[in-house]
Chains A and B, each alone.
Chain A
Amino acid sequence: MPTFYGTEIESRLMLGTAQYPSPAILAEAFRQSGAGIATVSVRREAGGDQAGQDFWALIQELGVAVLPNTAGCHSVREAITTAQMARELFDTNWIKLEVIGHADTLQPDPFGLVDAAAQLTEDGFEVFPYCTEDLVLCERLIEVGCKVLMPWGAPIGTGLGLNNIYGLRSLRAHFPDIPLVIDAGLGLPSQAAHAIELGYDAVLLNTAVAKAGDPVAMAKGFACAVEAGALAYKADPMEARDMAAPSTPVFGKAFL
């Protein structure tokens, strides 16, 4: 099972907490998913609003590790201040670092990401960077202290799956000892299974479960998928080949 900054998590599934039809469905989806980590955010609390307090009570009941994010931050300063507020609120050094560089694709800003990761690591944070599969970017992130990498599969919320298999495979090969998590872009359990079959340690998803017609069933589907993927990876899959090879023995076939 994956270990992040010295903490072993009993699941390869990390689940977001946004966009569910109701708090009760969120809670049941978590139970069915077996997810070990919940991502959360910090947002403004209006006048007499108690939503934040109620949400926090719900998360505590789930009994999972909490990974706060800096979602929506477009600058290094914004991301750092958000991370600092999240650390105090959630009492954890973990931060899912998002520094968004492009409004349409929500693609990470690689330059700001490295800068923010360096400053946060220096300040004692344990950074989970939401990044692309760019090898050089990932090297830089490791150099500044990241001990986990979270490349996107596809843009956030698209459900397109793994857009660059070659890049993701290459990342796994280059960093055999760094926990790798596919963060964002997954829409189906088969895509999650594929990620784990490639040797990825975990997947992080939100929309795929929360916006499914039946989020609870989909959560269970993803739980089965990551388990299947892990079994397959461990089982040393056969080599793919271009030419057909009969599985039934040719020897002994009746001569007709």
Chain B
Amino acid sequence: MKIIVNGETVISDAPDLAALLVELGKSEAKVATSVNEAFVPKTMRSGHALHDGDRIEIVAPRQGG
């Protein structure tokens, strides 16, 4: 399956968002996620199935004004 993670194309077989984060080494990181522009809370990542073409955003705390 071809998905877009933070703007970049990724080939993944992760069945859900939680599995994708494990694949990317981010399962323990302080990050928040969205799929197709909708927020997916941490507690809902497991079971949030991913599909071909999904657009996933993974964000972390950053500097801001």
Q: Residues of A at under 8 Å CB distance from B? A: 16-20, 26, 39-49, 51-53, 55-56, 59, 68-69, 71, 77-78, 81, 84-86, 88-90, 156, 184, 206-207
Contacts and interface: CB of A to CB of B under 8 A. Distances in A.
A85 B4 CA distance: 18
Nearest to B28: A53
A89 B33 contact: no
Nearest to A204: B65
Contacts of A59: 61
The 6 tightest CB contacts between A and B, nearest first, are A52-B60, A41-B64, A16-B65, A206-B65, A85-B32, A84-B39
Contacts of B31: 45, 52, 89
A114 B32 CA distance: 25
Contacts of A53: 29-30, 60-61
Given A45-B26, A86-B32, A71 B64 contact: yes
Contacts of B30: 52-53, 56, 89
B65 A81 contact: no
13 contacts: A17-B64, A18-B63, A44-B6, A44-B57, A51-B60, A52-B31, A52-B61, A53-B29, A71-B64, A77-B37, A85-B33, A88-B32, A90-B61
Contacts of B61: 40-42, 52-53, 55-56, 59, 89-90
Interface in B19-43: 24-26, 29-34, 37-39, 41-42
Given A47-B24, A85-B39, A40 B63 contact: yes
Contacts of B57: 44, 85
Contacts of A40: 61-64
Contacts of A77: 37
Contacts of B24: 47
Contacts of A88: 32, 39, 41-42
Given A56-B30, A86-B32, A41 B62 contact: yes
Contact of A51 (B38, B41, B62): B62
Contacts of B64: 16-18, 39-41, 68-69, 71
Contacts of A207: 65
A46 B62 contact: no
